[in-house]
Structure 1
Amino acid sequence: MTPQRTPKLDRAQVVDAALRLLDEVGLDGLTLRAIAAELDVKAPALYWHFKDKQALLDEMATEIMRRMTARTAEAGGGPSEPPGDWRTVYLTTMRTLRAELLRHRDGAKVYSGARFTDTSYAAGLDASLRVLMDAGFTMATATRAWYTAYSYTIGYVIEEQAMGPNPFAGQGGYDVEARAERLAAHPLAAEAGRVMFQDFEEGFEQGLALVLAGVEALARD
């Protein structure tokens, strides 16, 4: 079937609707048919703009990046601003990324592995790498340092959104006490759950501090 173009519908409208619906139903419930219903169009109309669901997810991830970039610029943290201490830039970038991913239900899953559809991310990446290189990192170590924290942040939020409270659905997080009862014969594993699955804000900061300590050690080598 050849998709029919809907003159009143554009890519931005589809992405906005998809992000709204994502917050309601999560990634598993996000289908092109459901998005079409949200927009009051037939599903084939979406294929004029996106060849499949993955193409739409790529655009959704890119839009999350655009919004994060815009909010950072509004707060005075854009690439044109004086870079400051590399540690501050490094930590702030990852905290901002986490906050943006948490704005959407399953936001980290949508973002993970996406192929950005434009180059809106490039200026910020250039600026971040430049700060590290100005601090004495090589291009290779700067890239690895940045990508390690970037991967940590996305992975952490995937787990946080899967195991922590779900504010979009009004659900509580993982029952760590029930877990501890099941693991009564393994006290260290039982206690580890209280560390891993409670106070995700503190957990993120502690993990990020460990990443930063490793990066600092790398910089001294």
Structure 2
Amino acid sequence: MVKVATTPLDRTRVARTALKLLNETGLDGLSLRAIAKELDVKAPALYWHFKDKQALLDEMATEMLRRMNEELVAELLPGTGWQEALTAAMRGLRRHLLKYRDGAKVYSGTHFTDLSYAAPMEAHLRTLTEAGFTPGGAARAWLTAYSYTIGFVIEEQSMGPDPAKEEGGYDLAARAERLAAYPLAAAAGQEMFRDYDGGFEKGLTAVVTGIGATLRES
């Protein structure tokens, strides 16, 4: 017999349980059935709140955003320049996505289920417009940095070491052997698939510098 949950079953509780399971199963292994089992309810009970897995992913991404906002708001200092603010926001986004296995895949391409994103986005866009960006330029600047960060973390989580294991990641020796006839491509593996922290910072600096050079009004 299925036990009656002591805490009311709602969208937020389901999403939080799903995020907990995500670190154990990964995105491919996450299912409504597994979440129902963890909540000690029957799977059909979840369909009352989510019509399908994509609807659940939307709520999971929104819950991730709520948690991230609580952290990042405390880190933003008044009077911070746009470069520093944008860089700090992207560092925070990456740091938060890395807390979850396949976090970037869950977060990307979803539709937020409430307006949790609105106030932080408004604040960041205001910082950019006050620094000389047009509203359109500010939006493009934010999206460019955001897309870089999401894409980087997707690759990092796909190609880097599994956090559940002590070792792993891309086998650079095997890669170099396959690319023996292409020495530059072989050597590039060390830069692309090692030291993700340093690589992210270098790329982010290039992105922010490029944004300043091409999207900000002189």
Alignment partner, residue 167 of structure 1: 163
Distance 1:123 1:188 in 2: 45
After TM superposition, which residue ranges in structure 1, 4 or more long, deviate above 6 angstroms?
A: none
| Total equivalences in the alignment | 213
- Give 1:171 deviation, angstroms: 4.8
Q: Does 1:178 pair with 2:174?
A: yes
Aligned to 1:185, what secondary structure does the other structure show?
Answer: coil
Q: Does 1:138 pair with 2:134?
A: yes
Aligned to 2:191, what secondary structure does the other structure show?
Answer: helix
Listed one character per residue, the Cα deviations across residues 153-200 of structure 1 (whole Å, up to 9, x for unaligned) are 000000000001111354511111111111111101101111100000
Q: Does 1:89 pair with 2:113?
A: no
Q: Does 1:214 pair with 2:203?
A: no
Alignment partner, residue 24 of structure 1: 24
Aligned to 1:9, what secondary structure does the other structure show?
Answer: coil
TM (normalized to structure 1)?
0.92
CA contact (8 A) 1:36 1:43 kept: yes
TM (normalized to structure 2)?
0.93
Distance 2:25 2:178 in 1: 31
Alignment partner, residue 100 of structure 1: 96
Aligned-partner residue type, residue 161 of structure 1 = Q
Listed one character per residue, the Cα deviations across residues 115-169 of structure 1 (whole Å, up to 9, x for unaligned) are 0000011111001010110011101111101100000000000000000111135
Identity of aligned residues (%): 62
Moved more, 93-102 or 174-183: 174-183
- Give 1:72 deviation, angstroms: 1.6
RMSD of aligned residue pairs (Cα, Å): 1.6
Q: Does 1:129 pair with 2:132?
A: no
- Give 1:214 deviation, angstroms: 0.8
Alignment partner, residue 42 of structure 1: 42
Distance 2:79 2:129 in 1: 12
Q: Does 1:188 pair with 2:184?
A: yes
Distance change >3 Å, CA 98–CA 191, structure 1 → 2: same
Unaligned runs of 5+ in 1: none
Distance 1:61 1:117 in 2: 9
Q: Does 1:114 pair with 2:106?
A: no
Distance 2:25 2:8 in 1: 25
Distance 1:65 1:17 in 2: 16
Distance 2:70 2:166 in 1: 29
Aligned-partner residue type, residue 203 of structure 2 = G
Listed one character per residue, the Cα deviations across residues 10-65 of structure 1 (whole Å, up to 9, x for unaligned) are 22221111001100010000011111111111110100111110000000000111
